[in-house]
Each structure stands twice: as structure tokens, then as C-alpha cells.
Amino acid sequence: MITQKDRIQQLQTALCSWHAGFGIMKAAQHAVLVLCALCAMQEVQCGKILVWYTDGSHWMNMKPILDTLIERGHSVTILFQNASMFINPKEHARYDYHLFNVSMEMSEVVEFFDDFMYFSFYELDRLSYPSIGWRLHQLLHKDAELGIRICDGLLRSDALMEKLKQAKYDILFTDPIYPGSELLAEVLNVPFVYSLRFSVANSMERLCGQLPAPPSYVPGTMVKLTDQMSFSERLTNSVFYLLVDAMYRSIWTQYDQYYSEVLGKPTSFCELMGKADMWFIRTYWDFDYPRPILPNFKYIGGVHCKPAKPLPKDMEDFVQTSGNDGIVVFTLGSMITNLTREKTNIIASALGQIPQKVLWRYKGERPETLAPNTRLYEWIPQNDLLGHPKTRAFVTHGGTNGMYEAIYHGVPMVGIPLFADQPDNMMHMKAKGAAVIMDYSTMQTEDLAEGLRAVINDPSYKANAMKLSKIHHDRPESPRDEAVFWIEHVIRNKGAKHLRVQAHNLTWYQYHCLDAFPILIGIVVLVLILVFQTCKFCCRKLCLRSKQKKKQE
């Protein structure tokens, strides 16, 4: 814990630097700073934050929160392993690090990733449904196996585990996409907070987090449906929920076994996940369809977004040459460096047909059809370009991060989704009227040119993108501040069990009252039968009497 004494000392230093020569505005500025420091003193109880290993875009989404936590005086310790792709202690010297070794080479991670890409790009379009299911199952089992190996690398390192126990962390912050954090939290006995973009069909959130999701209007992530479903779509969504749940349950048995072994008592992955104090979901109602939520689920979509900075001079010069037509920003994400020659030529021809200047992030070979209005870049300052007043459209693969930057700045999109959640993401943007979608495998020059012209010239796309931007910004606090607040809340309250529903303590049939309702129906039927039998008996008696009476007469 960083003591209040240190904070008071900081404050005193600030106060001492005041003197009469300061102009009034300077003093005023200072006063604001001091007030802020005072507020911080009152509100923040600085804590020791442990961060579970994560990578790729997951790490990029965690960083802004961690940076803010550091600025607010917390200490942050990152767990990372020898096969990390993105985490580099030299780059981010403000954090503490604990390295652990995993029996895995970087090449193995890359190989798995390539395998996954091959499945997404080629097999998904070519295989039969049962084969897709089987391949997906294989891939997810491999993913689970890698996850357990990473987890094992940490948990079997007695020296590091002892260090972690001694350090007495206040909270564990983690992205559940890399499993094991819930097990570490259980072993260390610390509260933990998840930051999650999604699990397929939101199975983790529903089954382990107890997030209610009626399949009639809450489409599972990746099913490519909206919240307004026809009968057959509702049927599809329900089947999607059931199948993905079954698939996850099968994969989780691997974890269950490992977790039970480590803890020395029967437990399950889902049960431990359910102990999370808080879940940050990295969407919001700008992107997502309104749906039931829980008090310990906070929607922090766009947590990494920030205002645009000025562009590098040569880029700004190029942008300015676009005049009133403006520019188009084009990127298919950091994962795609090469496309087929045919595709690049199709794209380049389409880009040549619009009057806008185009900045295309592309590392591959220069396409022959590249027009003078288009420039290729190995890297672009994507956020700064999207926030530029001359930007008219964003051509994107539909990755969450880029899409959220477009929402933040109110830029309409042309989506060329490739794999994973990208088609589903773009479906959201299309449903909200802020994007058109291209089919990557069948897309021709005219399709892309048509899509670009629509998004740029039809004012409804810009208006809808601006509406999403307004929704994004019009909330009581920024997603980053919200995340930081609730992390500090968990630190202050040593957990947040007061926000966690009791559904976690019910079995599935208790949850759905499947034990209570049959009995209820039974009672109602019994009462109805009794009433019916009594009436029948009375009627008979009456009939008998009237017959006897008639006979007597």
C-alpha cells in the first residue's frame, strides 16, 4: 500500500512551489491540480494489483486501464511468460514484472495461430458442417491444452508462487481468454476482476457469470444475428446457444481436471469463474444490442479510445491534398500482412474509382492497379487518422479495437470481415446503419467501389455513425474511468460480493424452477381433478335423486 503520508508530502511540495509572483491563472491552474490531489487523497486507497498473463489485442485493451491505475498511485505487477508476443518489460518500464517459464516455444504459439487462421480462411468455407465442428473442437482443445501449460508454468514454480503469496496483492486483474487466473486467485485468496471482449455465444458469461440472455432477443456473439429476430433466427440462435454450450462444457472438462488436481478437491473451471468479483465487458450500447445485465457486469467498450493527435507532417500534407473530398482510411488489421495478388488488385482498382485520397495500411507487394489517389503504408496512426476532420470512411476487417475507434470518432465503415468475431462485429454496425459489409471471398472491384460510394455519399451512414459516437460519449464517466473506479471499489471493499447474484449457488434446474414448477402444475391439476370429481359426484347424486323422485311420482 502507498501511504497517505506520501500523498500528503506530494501535496506539500506542490503547495511550496506557489509564490506571489505567479499570475492568477497559474494559481488557478494549480488550485485545480491541488483540489484534484485532495480528491484523490480522499477517494483512493492505493493497492497492489497483480495482472494475469495476456497477449495481443487483449493486452492492448488492458494497458490503458493499468496506465491510469499507475497514475493514480497503485502498483501494478504483470505476470508474463517466455513465449509472450506483445509484453515487453523494456517498453513498459512503469510496471513490475514476474517472468515464469512455460514448456512452450514461441514457434508453437505461432504454429497454433497459423492453424487457426488456416481454419478460419480456408476450411470454414470448404468443409462440411460436421467437419467444421470437429476441427473447431480440435482447435479449442489444443487452445485449452496450451492454456493449461501456461497456467502450469506459473503454478508449479514454487519460488514464484511463494513470492506472490508473500506480496499480499489486493486484486488480480485478468482477461479470462487465458485460463488459470481464477485458479491463481483461489490459491492466493485474492478478489479478482475479469476484462472480457466475448466468449463464443457468450457461454462463459452466461454459464459461469450467470448473465441472463433470453435467446429470443439476445443473439450469441458470432451468430451474426441482431436483436430483432424472425422465428427461424430465434430457432437458429437457440440451437447456437445449445451447441456452443455443449462444446465449451466438453473443453472445460480439461480445466476441471487440472483445477481439481491443483486444489486437491473436486472443483470446476466454471465454478471458479463464477467467483469473479466483477466482469468488465468490452462493449457498450453503441455497439451492442441492449440486453439484461448484472450489477457486477460493467460495459467498458472503447476503453482504449482517445482523442486524435496531429498526424506526421508528410501524412498531413497528403491528407490536405484531398480537398473537400476528404480521405478514406484502409486497414485489415495487424494480423493480415499479405493478400493474394488477385485480391489486392481488386481492392486497388476499387479505391482508384473514388475521388477521395486513400491511406492503405499494407505490407505486401504493391498492386499493379494502384491508383494515384492511394498510398500504401507499413503502419498508420489509425486513431489519429480516424479522428481527422477530413476522414470520410474507414475500410476495416471489423476487429473490435479499430471499430471502436471509428465509433469514438463517428466514422462510417466499409467492413471486409475475415474471421473470428469480425463478421459478427460488422453485422452490429450494419444493423445500426453505420456500415456496409463486403464478402471477402466473392468481392469484386465494383462491389467495393459501390460500398465506398454508398458510405461516403449517403448521409444516413455518417448520421448513424455520429449517433453511435454520441451514445459512446454520453455516459456519466468514460469507460476507462469506470473500469478504474470499480477496480478501486474492489480494492476498498476487499471484493464485491455485494454485487454478485445468488444464482451462483443454484443448480440449473433450481435456477429455472424446474423443481418447483412441476409440483405447482401437479397441485393445480390435482385441485382441478378434485373439483371435477366432486362436481361429477354431486351431479350424479342430484340426477339419481331426481330420477328417484320421478319414479316415485
Query: Rounded to the nearest whole angstrom, what is the least distance from the CB of residue 497 to a second copy in the complex?
Result: 9
Choice between 192 and 255, CB closer to a second copy: 192
Q: Where does this chain bind a second copy (CB under 8 A)?
A: 18, 20, 22, 24-25, 27-32, 34-35, 212, 214-217, 227-228, 231, 234-235, 238-239, 285-286, 289-296, 467, 470-471, 474, 476-477, 481-482, 485, 489, 492-493, 498-503, 505-506, 510-513, 515-517, 519-520
Would you say 23 or 459 has its CB closer to a second copy?
A: 23
User: What is the Cα–Cα distance from 36 to 44, expressed in whole angstroms?
Assistant: 11
Which one, 64 or 333, has the nearer CB to a second copy? 64
CA nearest to 423, candidates 234, 222, 228, 240: 222
In angstroms, the CA 504 to CA 184 distance is 20
Q: How far apart are CA 311 and CA 322, in angstroms?
A: 15
C-alpha 260/C-alpha 165 separation (Å) is 20
- CB 34 → a second copy: shortest distance, Å? 8
DSSP state of 365: P
Q: How far is residue 536 CA from its own chain's centroid?
A: 63
Report in angstroms how near the CB of residue 408 gets to a second copy at its nearest: 16
Specify the amino acid at residue 333: G
Q: How far is the CB of 287 from a second copy (least distance, A)?
A: 11
Write a three-state SS string for 14-32.
HHHCCCCCCCHHHHHHHHH
Alpha helices in 156-230 (DSSP H): 158-167, 181-188, 203
CB of 420 or CB of 468, closer to a second copy:
468
In angstroms, the CA 52 to CA 320 distance is 44
Shortest approach of a second copy to residue 309 CB, angstroms?
21
CB of 503 to a second copy, least distance (A): 5
Q: How far is the CB of 377 from a second copy (least distance, A)?
A: 35
- Give the C-alpha separation, 512 to 506, whole Å: 9
> Which CB, 60 or 503, lies closer to a second copy?
503
- 28 versus 528: smaller Cβ distance to a second copy: 28
- In the complex with a second copy, the residue whose CB is nearer, 137 or 470, is 470
HSE (side-chain half, CA atoms, 13 Å) at 321: 12
Nearer to a second copy, 16 or 25 (CB): 25
Of the pair 32, 539, the CB lying nearest a second copy is at 32
370 Cβ contact partners less than 8 Å away, ≥ 6 residues apart? 348, 351, 352, 376
CB of 170 to a second copy, least distance (A): 15
Whether 387 contacts 409, CB under 8 Å: yes
Other C-beta atoms closer than 10 Å to the C-beta of 236 total: 18
Nearest distance, CB of residue 468 and a second copy, angstroms: 9
Least spacing, CB of residue 476 vs a second copy, in Å: 5
Distance of alpha carbon 45 from alpha carbon 68, whole angstroms? 14
C-alpha cell of residue 366: 504493391
**DSSP assignments along 123-141, one per residue:** IHHHS-HHHHHHHHHHHHH
Q: Which is nearer to a second copy, 99 or 503 (CB)?
A: 503
Nearest Cα to Cα of residue 399 among 247, 483, 287, 244: 287
